[in-house]
Amino acid sequence: MPTKTGQDQHSREQTALLKALSGTIEHYWGGWKNIFSGVKDPRNPEQIIYPLSGLLFTGTFLFLCRLGSRRGIKDWLRDNGPSQAKFEAWFGAENVPHGDTLNYTFRRLDVEEVQEVICRCVGLLIRKKVLSRYRLLGLYYLIAIDGTGVLTYRERHCPQCLTRTLHNGQTLYYHPVLEAKLVTANGFVFSLMTCDALHRRLSKTPISLQTNKIAS
109 band by pLDDT with thresholds 50, 70 and 90: very high
Contacts of 124 (CB under 8 A, 6+ apart): 28, 29
Asked if 110 contacts 36 with a C-beta cutoff of 8 angstroms, the reply is no
Q: What mean pLDDT is predicted for residues 91-117?
A: 89
DSSP state of 73: I
Q: What mean pLDDT is predicted for residues 41-61?
A: 90
Helix (H, G, I), strand (E, B) or coil at 81: helix
Same domain, 74 and 134: no
Work out how many domains the chain is built from and give that number.
2
Distance of alpha carbon 87 from alpha carbon 79, whole angstroms: 11
pLDDT of 207 over the 80 cut: no
* Lowest-pLDDT choice from 21-30, 43-52, 64-73, 92-101: 64-73
Distance of alpha carbon 145 from alpha carbon 134, whole angstroms: 18
Asked if 154 contacts 146 with a C-beta cutoff of 8 angstroms, the reply is no
Q: What mean pLDDT is predicted for residues 23-46?
A: 91
Q: What mean pLDDT is predicted for residues 105-131?
A: 92
Residue 145 CB coordination number (10 Å): 15
In 3D space, the residue among 94, 97, 93 whose CA is nearest the CA of residue 106 turns out to be 97
5 band by pLDDT with thresholds 50, 70 and 90: low
213 band by pLDDT with thresholds 50, 70 and 90: low
Same domain, 63 and 150: no
Residue 112 lies in a domain: no
Residue 10 lies in a domain: yes
Same domain, 71 and 23: yes
